[in-house]
Structure 1
Amino acid sequence: MDLVALVERIGEAPAAALFGLITGTVFGIAAQRSQFCLRAAVVEFARGSMGDKIAVWLLTFSTAVVWVQGAQMLGLIETADARMMAVPGSWSGAIIGGLMFGAGMVLARGCSGRLLVLAATGNLRSLVSGLIFAVVAQMSLSGMFSPIRDRLASLWITSGGRNMDLLATLGLDQAFGLIFGLALAVLALIVARRNAIGTARLVFASGVGFAVALGWFLTYSLAQVAFDPLQIESATFTGPSAHTLMFFLDRNAVLEFDIGLVPGVFLGAFIAAAFAKELKFQGFETTSNMRQAMIGAALMGFGGMLAGGCAIGAGVTGGSIFAGTAWAALTSFWIGGMATDWLIFQRGALASA
């Protein structure tokens, strides 16, 4: 069945949700098997190690860049009109929100995407943290925190009524983006070899990046045949978590890509964990851990919404199309995460030694 026939048969909104489900399932399987996690990579780097977590993150990020930039060069996708690029970006939101999100993911012991993957395997700590994250994200989107978010986001925005395209701003073409991605992939493989990472894990790490490219391709393809305007987007978890929460609470909510994405990730991670026999109920170890996780989840909910995306949405999805504020947010994720690990965990360990 071709795409036009599919849209005519089930409708544009259900088709978008179906594509979100497909993208999410691929992401969930790959993320669960590769143990992809920005928080783990940040902590590893902050403690002076170039280990397996960094190798996995680098390979995921580089794979997304290579697939997306290659697809654009072949004319398979066009992200200039993507939601992330077609509206003004917020530099202040990316920086302030990115620092908050980075701190939150270290406290919660996982970014929003990682929490969703772990929740699917039976991790109740991640389930509780994920729910708090979704509620705070919704409050920051259209609830009581939205005025604060709007005020912070408006402090410094991109010029020209659009987000900044880093490649275009620097006078570089998409070939540079592809070469940059390939160079990062080589670095990732070097680090992976030094840490003796198995082939299967590397393939799944690449699969996470491929899922991001798949989301871009599916939504772009659907937008070309849809009668009504349709957002060109890919994997991210701040907005979709809030939208999915409201979908189950509001009978007037409509289907969209986001609504399929989050259940898809949960389903994919559950399937992967079940096949690997890694389903296991886990809870909070101590009251202190619970308190840190809840605070971290709240910081991620507000910070991710302010930054315009989470560790996946801004860090990989936005980074793969070289959106200026996405790269600012990604940098802030790393800085906020490393600073929090030092202040809360490393310094405490040194003091008690």
Structure 2
Amino acid sequence: MDPVITRYLFWILALSIAFGAAAQFSRFCLLGGLGSYRQSRDGRRLAVYLAAIGVAILATTLVQSVTGIDLDNTRPAYRSPDFAWGRYLIGGFVFGIGMVLARGCPVRSLVKVTQGNLQALLAVIVMALAAYAMTRTNLYATAFLPWVGALSTNLTSFGIAHQDLASLLDGGREMYWILALAISALLLFASWRWLPLRANWLGWLGALTIGIVVGLAFWVTGGSLGQAAADAAEMMNNPQQGLGLQSFTFSAPMGDVVYFLQRPATFAAITFGVVAVAGLLLGSLISTLIRREFRLSFPRSWQEWTRTIIGALMVGIGSVLAMGCTVGHGLSGISTLALGSFISLAAIMAGAWIALRVEHEFFGRASHGCTLPE
């Protein structure tokens, strides 16, 4: 157990705990926001999510500028010139439908587990197993790669080195800052209109915390500590897995948890993702207990169990296919201004919006099941 890697993982744990607590007390949930807006044009829940994106863009841009970290080399490679538009669109759309059926994305499902929701526990288990199958077995290589691999464009053939918006516009550092500030200002302004600070301070505190944590994760993993951890891993007989420049995502990491649980004595299997999931659960549980919001709840019928399993499978498969989720692309990816992350998030929202509408038309009910913070 190398002390540098241990310190690195403790930093990730601390950030994850903050993320989990903020996600719980702010009711951070894209699906809840879309559902509330569709039902009653109430944009407050959606504003929390959009504000977190705006803050994450500012925080990540500041980290990149101050530290000189190269965000072209993230895990996953958000800015890769290999523009996998098929994966972004198809995976994102499948994910969006799935999170409606499962009544939550990975983050919201993990938070609901700490609040005593057994339906969410089933969803998390199925999501984790699906992500594990997609990342740790040959399922993706045999069932998806042969056809989805062709739905990609290499931007270098057009003289474009990376897919961040500044590179696409043939701009430099100044252009990057202009775009980051403009997009952040737009998101924060829209959020401010929907979410007045005085009556919704918990929502703003959660968005601010989550956005800053996303930027700090890039600083920890790509800064001096992250580099020292990578150097230490190179000297090991069994190198630490999952190192490299990265920030938060929760779908594929749940597959990492399944992998780790098969070999719990292997320190090298404790990845960023494993710690992120554990920290989020811990932070959310602490917030849940402080706010006295733990209530055991069960699915009402076998149809709910079936629906949850199908939706969770779609979430696990779709997230890996899209290379991100509502946090991986929605926050971490977009904070690097990667075009693919914007497209993937749009596909997720489109899939969820259509599924919400179909459900309302055929069953006359909403599925977001989330309430605003007091």
Give TM-score, length-normalised by structure 1: 0.89
Flag the 1:9–1:247 CA change in 2: closer, same or farther, 3 A.
closer
Aligned-pair distance for 1:264?
A: 0.3
Shift in CA distance, 72/152, structure 1 to aligned 2, threshold 3 Å:
same
The residue that corresponds to 1:332 in the other structure is 347
Per the alignment, residue 57 of structure 2 pairs with 65
SS at match of 1:281: coil
**1:123 is aligned with what amino acid?**
N
Structure 1 counterpart of 2:66, from 60, 71, 74: 74
Cα 1:239–1:48, aligned 2, differ >3 Å: closer, same or farther? same
User: What does residue range 1-353 of structure 1 map to in structure 2 within 5 Å?
Assistant: 10-12=3-5, 14-47=6-39, 49-75=41-67, 77-83=69-75, 84-85=77-78, 87=80, 88-143=82-137, 145-146=139-140, 147-160=142-155, 164-172=163-171, 173-176=175-178, 177-193=180-196, 197-221=199-223, 222-225=225-228, 226-227=230-231, 228=233, 230-250=243-263, 252=266, 254-349=269-364
Larger mean CA deviation between 42-51 and 340-349 belongs to: 42-51
Say if 2:226 and 2:244, in contact at 8 Å, map to a contact too.
yes
**Aligned 8 A contact 2:83 2:155 in 1:** no
Contact 1:140 1:149 in 2 (8 A): no
Structure 2 SS opposite 1:74: helix
For each residue in 1:218-276, what CA deviation from the matched residue of structure 2 results, as whole angstroms up to 9, or x when unmatched? Answer: 11113333415741001101111101111011355522211211000000000011111
Measure how far apart 1:15 and its partner are.
3.7
Look up the equivalent residue of 2:169 and give its one-letter code: L
Counting matched residue pairs gives: 341
Distance apart, 1:291 and its partner CA:
1.6
**Is contact 1:19–1:257 with CA below 8 Å preserved after alignment?**
no
CA distance in 1, matches of 2:355, 2:2: 50
RMSD: 2.3
Is 200-209 or 24-33 further displaced after alignment? Answer: 200-209
Cα deviation for residue 18 of structure 1 reads 2.3
CA contact (8 A) 2:63 2:216 kept: no
Q: Which deviations, in whole Å up to 9, do the C-alpha atoms of 1:83-106 show, x marking residues without a partner? A: 224653421111100000000111
Aligned residue type for 1:166: L
Distance 1:347 1:48 in 2: 18
Q: Which moved more, 1:41-50 or 1:99-108?
A: 41-50
Q: Is the 8 A contact 2:17 2:282 kept in 1?
A: yes
Q: Deviations over 1:96-140 (max 9, x none)?
A: 000000001111111111101111222111111001000011111
- Give ranges in structure 1 of 5+ residues lacking alignment: 1-7
**Where has structure 1 moved over 4 Å in runs of 4 or more?**
160-163
Gaps of 5+ in 2: 235-242, 366-374
Contact 1:93 1:152 in 2 (8 A): no
Cα distance, 1:196 vs structure 2: 7.0
What SS does the aligned partner of 2:67 have? coil
Decide which moves more: 260-269 or 245-254.
245-254
State the identity %.
25
The CA distance in 2 between the partners of 1:124 and 1:90, in whole Å, is 36
Counterpart contact for 1:133–1:298, Cα < 8 Å: yes
Contact 1:17 1:258 in 2 (8 A): no
How many Å apart are 1:48 and its aligned residue? Answer: 6.0
What is the alpha-carbon distance in structure 1 between the residues aligned to residue 200 and residue 331 of structure 2? 23
Distance 1:299 1:345 in 2: 20
Equivalents in 2 of 1:326, 1:22: separation in Å?
26
User: Contact 1:121–1:280 (CA<8 Å) still a contact in 2?
Assistant: yes
Asked if 2 retains the 8 angstrom alpha-carbon contact of 1:133 and 1:297, the reply is yes
How many Å apart are 1:347 and its aligned residue?
4.0
